[in-house]
Each structure stands twice: as structure tokens, then as C-alpha cells.
Structure 1
Amino acid sequence: MDTRTNYHQSLKAMQDLLMHMGTTVEKQIYRAVDSLKNLDGALAQSIIDEDDALDQMMLDIEDRCLRLVALQQPMAGDLRIITMAGKLAVDLERIADHAVDIAKITRRLTGEELIKPIVDLPRMADLCIKMLQESLLAYTEGNVNRAAYMAELDDEVDRIYSTVLNEVMPMMSNDTVRNKQLMQLMMAAHYLERVADHATNIAEGVIFMVTGKRKDLNK
């Protein structure tokens, strides 16, 4: 096998692992919000337990990126693709951490009765998952237009986040237990808002990868 063929195979293997990590993280977000919606402590614990595997995926991807750069000395275009993969893996790992954060909220609230049905958080989660899917496709396709679409989706997540805060904050009272739960629900919404920000970071990285120019999608 010649050196160039080996390089392309190694690059594809790295990107395949990256896509697998992305799919796994998407599931973690969905499962975390589902655990909170149903106050399913067992599901929440499984999300927490599986986080180590995602941390290891990130490390494996970073290691593969370093090896590709060190051993293959890629040209500028491929170098940006490889560098972006390493940064993307870090964002995915941080998104997975936010899924764990939400799962921990579920554990804290397990055994309580929800003050209000959880409706807006699943909507936020669906948008976050769509953003993640779109940003990963933008990376694999090198599609700037798909990446730029993140700004529109991020604005929608921000609108729902504001709705959650505006709905929950007036529900605060002198009841400490009630306030604690409401604060936890607002924190869950905050974590999802951060997930959307990480997906937007990925999209901005894709635009730089393709064009070599920085673009802020969070204006």
C-alpha cells in the first residue's frame, strides 16, 4: 500500500470515528432530556456512566489527528480539515458533558413531582440535535451554506430559552423546595442553550476550514 493511499484511509477512519462520536452525542442529548421529562433516574445514571467512553473517543480522535499531521505532512487544505476534526471532537465532548449535566439534574429531582410539564426543553433539544446534525454534515461536505444555517437555528434556540426563563422566573415563591426545582429546570435550559452555542462553534470552524476566513454566527 502506497503512502498516499494509507493517508486517505487513515483520514477516513478518523472522520468515521468523528461521525460515530457525533451520533452518540446526539443520542445523549435526547436521552438526557427524556430522563428529565420523565424523571427517570436509571436512564440519567446510564448517561452519566457512558460519558467516559465519549471522553475516550475525543482522545482517540485527537491522537489520530496528531499522527496524520506528524506522519503525513498534509497540504494546507487537508491540514485545515484535520485541525477542524480535533476541534470538533472537543466541542462534541463538551456537548456530551452538558447532557451529563442535565442527567444530574434528573437525579436531583427524582422522586419529586414536576411543578410543570416539561414541554419547551424537548423542543430545544430537538433543535440542538438538528444543529449538531447540520454542523457535522457541513463538515463532511465542506458546505458553507449549511454551516451558515446554524445562525438561524441558534436564534430559535435562544428564543425558546428566553421563553423558558420568562415563564419560570415569575413562578418563584417563598417555597424553597419549589424554587430549587424551578432553578434546576432553568439550568437545564441553560445547558441546552450552551449545546446550541457549541454546534454554532463547529459551523464557524467549518466556514474557516473551507474559506480560510473567520465568520461570527452569533451576532
Structure 2
Amino acid sequence: MDDISPKFISFEGGEGAGKSTQIKLLAKWLTGRGVEVVMTREPGGSTGAEEIRELLVKGETDRWTPMSEALLMTAARAEHVERTIKPALKRGVWVLCDRFFDSTIAYQGGARGLGIDKMRELQDMALHGLTPDLTFILDLPVDVGLARACGREALREDREDRFERMNFAFHENIRDAYLKIAESEPDRCVVIDANRDITTLQNDLRAEVNHRLVGMK
């Protein structure tokens, strides 16, 4: 696999879409085919970004104004890109990221009312145009996703459920924003029906990687 340039794949979707599980399975599949992989997440993925994560995913739902939230998310992302993502790609390592700039576009731009176009401009300015080679948007009904997410967080001692606790309309707006993003960027974004079993979903992800990035057996 030395002749294949490193790829940057992001995974997006509302709460409970199963991104973490699918990233782990895809990483295992790629590793078995001789691809070196880094798995990372947002907000987080580097020391400074993980510190900002603590401010964003905990506390009261109204802890931050929409713009403060967007700026914190973007600051964490800028650190993550410079400390983790770019160095990995430079080493020839594939990057699988649980959320990237589309989350800010969907959550703060769409659901929090700051505007999708304005959030795109903010990401371009902060990241100097860095864009994933492929983005999977894992889509499922909001009620299904929230049920999954709330069940998961109930098992955690250190709850990271600030966004899950926002109202249902907020989550519906997130889903709508993601679908608009996918419609506007079909060359990069693939919408995947996440309301299916884990194996079927993973097989679809692998097929898209084969089709869009590079053929693997």
C-alpha cells in the first residue's frame, strides 16, 4: 500500500449514529490491508483540544452562546489539525476522524442559527482549506439516535451529554443541515443509512472507500 497517498476520512451524524463503532471496524479492516491508521475525534484529538472538549460537552445546555460555542469548537479543531491530523498525513498515515468541520456547520450553523455559509467561512479561515477526502454522514431518525445516545451516556460516570439534552427540534435541525451539506458536496459526502445492523453498515462504508478512494480486497 506504499503507492497510495494517505487519506483523511471524517465521520459525521447526529447523536447516537454509531460513528465510533464504525470507525473502529473500518480501521481494523484498513490495518489488515497494510494501511497505517490514526483514529481521532472532535472536539479533542490533541492535548489542548481535549481541554476545550471538557468545556463543550459538559454542563448546562445554555452554558455558551452559539457564537462562543462555534469559536471554541473551531479553536479546538485548529489545534487538532496542526498537532495531530497534518502530522499524521505527512507521515503517510490515514486519518479516521469522529467529527470534523461539518459538525460545526450543522450544529452551530444550522441548529444554533449562525448560518451554514458563515460557519463554512469560519472553518476555511481557521483551517486554511483543509478538507477530508471523504466524509460519511451517518443518518438515522432523531428519536432512534437520541435513545441510543442517552442509553450510552447513562453508563458513563463522567457524563458528556450536554448536546444530547438539547431539545428535539435542535436535533431535527442538525439532521436537516447534514443532509443539505451532503446535497451540496456530493463528491466528498456520502449519506449512509445508519438505522441498520452494524455489519451491513460497515460493509457499505468499505464499499464506498473502495469505490471513491482506492480498490482493496
TM-score calculated relative to the size of structure 2: 0.32
Which one has more relative contact order, counting CA pairs under 8 Å at least 6 apart?
A: 2
Larger Rg, first or second structure (1 or 2)? 1
Q: Which has the higher strand share?
A: 2
Q: Which has the higher helix share?
A: 1
TM-score calculated relative to the size of structure 1: 0.32
